[in-house]
Structure 1
């Protein structure tokens, strides 16, 4: 036989229908692009891969750019008539591999850990998630690359004081132009990472995109392949980077700001394909 409920027990029992009328004191609103950007910024700055990849890129650009300038100054190499800014190309080319790696990991790491499920649960719009990743990654990479390229250019000019003074356009291309190009290359890597959904595979593809056209062109000795060889050299990423510094491997091909337009077209196609596949695939 059960004992009758005491007044204290009755107070602890929830009243019928109480939960159905509960309203959260926290305002509920749909997620916006700003919320997605804040979330992606938190994720990008809190992982060690961001610090390591961008840190290595900065070290490579500074060490190679300044180191080459010091070697030329010590050996009294005659660079009269040549701007010192072009020496920054070597550090930027190697640093681009770090940008590629970070761009792929920005998406690929979430697929490898399963974090992408949580991301898409919080923000079901896959296009918005990819746009937020692209905005945060592009902004961070552009700022870091542009500042580093500017520091390298200033130090090289100071060390090699006997070289010809570069014009304002040349300074803009070797600093802002390089920053925009590397950030665009990183966006291309991010899009490939979203398409492939495998970090190692996407990084391998992007390294092939950077190096393979130029390597293939070097082995095209047949006369019938001269046109293809010239095209691969002119539009290879190393040649487009060197064009931003005013030095190219051929007399034709993209020059001045044209490499940025080529990269912009590649990024638009890749991101469009990534959005289409994200909307069709399961997580």
Structure 2
């Protein structure tokens, strides 16, 4: 009785040293972050919510900014930058980026596409890293472009006072973009669109309203003063030179710390929980 022939061992493409091994004609390229970025970019740009959300964001920031610039006078820009009208639009426009950051990750959980994503890319941390990087770049470019458009429009309407405004473009765009990254991290942790958006809106709006109820007693007044100084609208205003003129570096550093904690929590829960 003859024994069945032994199967030849399989050798991936490029491994030709095994005697009698099979060499696949199809190149096998190990997956890396570049592939994850390409995949996430395809998903982000191919959905309508991205186009609509960024479109509404641009209309709010640029539209409100140009309107306020047209209604203001030259004397109002004696000590503030020409990008100041963009701040008023960003107060509302940042909600668009908060929602977009949440939807980038929660929409996949809602439709079940996340199972396909993690099956194709078992390295979950690589997928989430690609989402964070792409969204930060998109939100930063969109915000910086909108602020710049408002600044250029304002400078053409009013006499040049020499007040520099390039740094406000960077700091304002960085603050809003980091807030969006926090939203993406919260969406990854909660995996629920409505819950994550509500959580982020509460984190942005409640600290701005709460001080009105905490100034009545000496015990809660210090907390109220800190909330007034570090809430999101005030922190964003300081990036544009409003307030006491101290700058918004402490507020920006606080948001950087919050972003690091939120992103770390998103990665930790991603590896510990099932899909």
Query: How far apart in 2 are the matches of 1:117 and 1:280?
Result: 15
Give the TM-score taking structure 2 as reference length: 0.87
Residues 97-112 of structure 1 correspond to what in structure 2 (within 5 A)?
Answer: 97-112=95-110
Query: How far apart in 2 are the matches of 1:262 and 1:80?
Result: 28
- Counterpart secondary structure, 2:236: helix
In structure 2, relative to structure 1, the CA distance for the partners of 1:106 and 1:176 (3 Å cut) is same
Query: How far apart in 2 are the matches of 1:157 and 1:211?
Result: 31
Q: Partner of 2:114 in structure 1?
A: 116
- Could you tell me which runs of 5 or more consecutive residues in structure 1 were left unpaired when the two chains were aligned: 1-15
Query: How far apart in 1 are the matches of 2:249 and 2:225?
Result: 20
Report Cα offsets for 1:56-105 as digits up to 9, x if no partner.
010001111000111225xxx84262333322211011110000010000
In structure 2, relative to structure 1, the CA distance for the partners of 1:119 and 1:109 (3 Å cut) is same
- Counterpart secondary structure, 2:161: coil
Query: How far apart in 1 are the matches of 2:221 and 2:158?
Result: 38
Query: How far apart in 2 are the matches of 1:113 and 1:165?
Result: 52
Query: How far apart in 1 are the matches of 2:47 and 2:125?
Result: 23
Report Cα offsets for 1:187-214 as digits up to 9, x if no partner.
0000000000001110010011111101
- Counterpart secondary structure, 1:87: helix
Q: Partner of 2:147 in structure 1?
A: 149
In structure 2, relative to structure 1, the CA distance for the partners of 1:63 and 1:23 (3 Å cut) is same
Q: C-alpha root-mean-square deviation of aligned residues, in Å?
A: 2.2
Q: Partner of 1:265 in structure 2?
A: 257
Query: How far apart in 2 are the matches of 1:118 and 1:102?
Result: 21
Query: How far apart in 1 are the matches of 2:88 and 2:145?
Result: 17
Report Cα offsets for 1:82-134 as digits up to 9, x if no partner.
33332221101111000001000010000001111111111111111110100
Given the alignment of the two structures, is residue 230 of structure 1 paired with residue 225 of structure 2, yes or no? yes
Give the TM-score taking structure 1 as reference length: 0.85
- Counterpart secondary structure, 1:111: helix
- Counterpart secondary structure, 2:119: helix
Contact 2:78 2:163 in 1 (8 A): no
In structure 2, relative to structure 1, the CA distance for the partners of 1:191 and 1:44 (3 Å cut) is same
Shift of 1:141: 1.1
Residues 166-177 of structure 1 correspond to what in structure 2 (within 5 A)?
Answer: 166-167=163-164, 171-177=165-171
Shift of 1:18: 9.7
Question: In the comparison of the two structures, how many residue pairs are matched?
Answer: 259
Q: Partner of 2:124 in structure 1?
A: 126
- Counterpart secondary structure, 2:76: coil
Q: Partner of 1:96 in structure 2?
A: 94
Query: Which residue of 60, 78, 86 maps to 1:81?
Result: 78
Query: How far apart in 1 are the matches of 2:240 and 2:231?
Result: 15
Query: Whose Rg is larger?
Result: 1
Contact 1:85 1:166 in 2 (8 A): no
Contact 2:83 2:147 in 1 (8 A): no
Residues 10-21 of structure 1 correspond to what in structure 2 (within 5 A)?
Answer: none
